[in-house]
Structure 1
Amino acid sequence: MAKRLLRAFALLVVPFIASLLMRLLYATNKKEFHSPDTISNEPTIFACWHGELLMLPYLYSKYRKTPHAKVLISSHFDGMLISKTIKYFGLGTIAGSTNRNAARVLIQAISAIKDGYDIGITPDGPKGPRHEVADGIIAMAQKTKAKIVLVEIKPTKFWQLKSWDKFKIPKPFGTLNYYSTAPIDVSDMDTLSAKKLIKEGLLKHEK
């Protein structure tokens, strides 16, 4: 009972505080966008590694002044916290992962794309292996013909958690480097080649 109450309290308080901290960290860092100035208005899949997802909403807002996206988030408690946090940035969610409940999540994501939503996804989430691309993003892109924008977020100053994804939290007063590609088309590629292309693209600026 106590655990349930604690979790309920956390779901009320933590997302709001987290959203304020994200705004503070963004405001106190310089920003460098190494990205195309514009992309197509067609529904697009935005992909970044799980360990770099914290500041992803700000790259998305560069291209979509009015957010219209759903992000694939774990259905576990930590995923619920993330889901409620990104709602403060106007983003919806699809609960689950392309490893667990894969068919249901894939159907929901495909349906969302067909309804005009962009999709946010961490190809190695929610539990890894780190920097390994799961099949879900490929299936999603090929079934909808949606193109993929690969996003890397590299802060010059950061805390790094000892989690499986080595999650990065930018420190204030550094520089946030956003790298993103023009939309790439994997619709005619075999799965292994598409996964290789995505992995190499997301590791291009990894040190």
Structure 2
Amino acid sequence: MLKYFKLNILPYILYYLVRVIYLTNKKVYHHPKDDGKPIIICMWHGDLLSQIYNYFTFRKDGNVKAMISHNKDGEIIAKLAANFRIGAVRGSTSKGAAKALISAIKELKEGNDLAITPDGPRGPRYSVADGIIAIAQKTDSKIVCFNTVPSKYWQFNSWDKFVLPKPFGRIDFYISEPFDIKNLQFEEAREVIKTKMLIHALP
């Protein structure tokens, strides 16, 4: 019964919860000019719930696929994402990595955007795994950092310190200027991504 609830009911509860939070908050967007080229969206695992509206305000008719793990939480996130017309590339560094990498590269080459949580699905928080670096360098795609800063929020006691904005506040939505890492070594690229991602990250 609990499994059925998590997989078949919880995603819909979260869907309407996200809509209520979005509709009742004042929204301020800090977005760069959009050149329309496929991008790799980098967002922290604990901040992913707010990025749906960040993306579709930036690209109203955009087509984005999210890299989502094969674990139980991934199933919930995939169903939630589908309600917002976001597709999924299933896999992570711990399971299905090679297949996910190939699928992600294909999506970008077909002109779709790709969303990645570099510290997911298991952390540690605010770390950058190799996947986003490999995909960006193999496709010569630029990365953009997505962050949100709510004025009022709940923060869960999970490894990613998951953030849920409270209604009737203000949410600042940030998207960085696109940047590339094609000529950088992995450790250099990792540091560049992390530095940019931490500019608007919550403690």
Q: TM-score, normalised by structure 2?
A: 0.95
Q: Please report how far the alpha carbon of residue 98 of structure 1 lies from its aligned counterpart in structure 2 after TM superposition.
A: 2.9
How far does the alpha carbon of each residue in 1:77-100 deviate from its partner, in whole angstroms, 9 at most, with x for none? 111011101111110011121343
Given candidates 79, 89, 98, the residue that maps to 1:94 is: 89
Given candidates 118, 134, 147, the residue that maps to 2:129 is: 134
3-state SS in 2 of match to 1:32: strand
Query: How far, CA to CA, are the matches of 1:62 and 1:148 in structure 2?
Result: 18
Q: Where does 1:40-189 land on structure 2 (aligned, <5 Å)?
A: 40-189=35-184
3-state SS in 2 of match to 1:24: helix
Matched residue type, 1:101: G
Matched residue type, 1:26: Y
Matched residue type, 2:95: R
Q: Which residue of 1 aligns with 2:25?
A: 29
Q: Please report how far the alpha carbon of residue 40 of structure 1 lies from its aligned counterpart in structure 2 after TM superposition.
A: 2.0
Contact 1:99 1:134 in 2 (8 A): no
Query: How far, CA to CA, are the matches of 1:67 and 1:23 in structure 2?
Result: 19
How far does the alpha carbon of each residue in 1:4-55 deviate from its partner, in whole angstroms, 9 at most, with x for none? x53234322111121111010011111111221x322111111111010001
2:1 matches 1:8: no
Q: TM-score, normalised by structure 1?
A: 0.93
Q: Where does 1:185-196 land on structure 2 (aligned, <5 Å)?
A: 185-196=180-191
Query: Alignment identity in percent?
Result: 45
Q: Please report how far the alpha carbon of residue 69 of structure 1 lies from its aligned counterpart in structure 2 after TM superposition.
A: 1.0
Contact 1:47 1:149 in 2 (8 A): yes
Contact 1:46 1:151 in 2 (8 A): yes
Matched residue type, 2:6: A
Aligned length: 202
Structure 2 unpaired stretches of 5+: none
How far does the alpha carbon of each residue in 1:178-201 deviate from its partner, in whole angstroms, 9 at most, with x for none? 121111111111111111111011
Which runs of 4 or more aligned residues in structure 1 lie more than 4 Å from their structure 2 counterparts after TM superposition? none
Structure 1 unpaired stretches of 5+: none
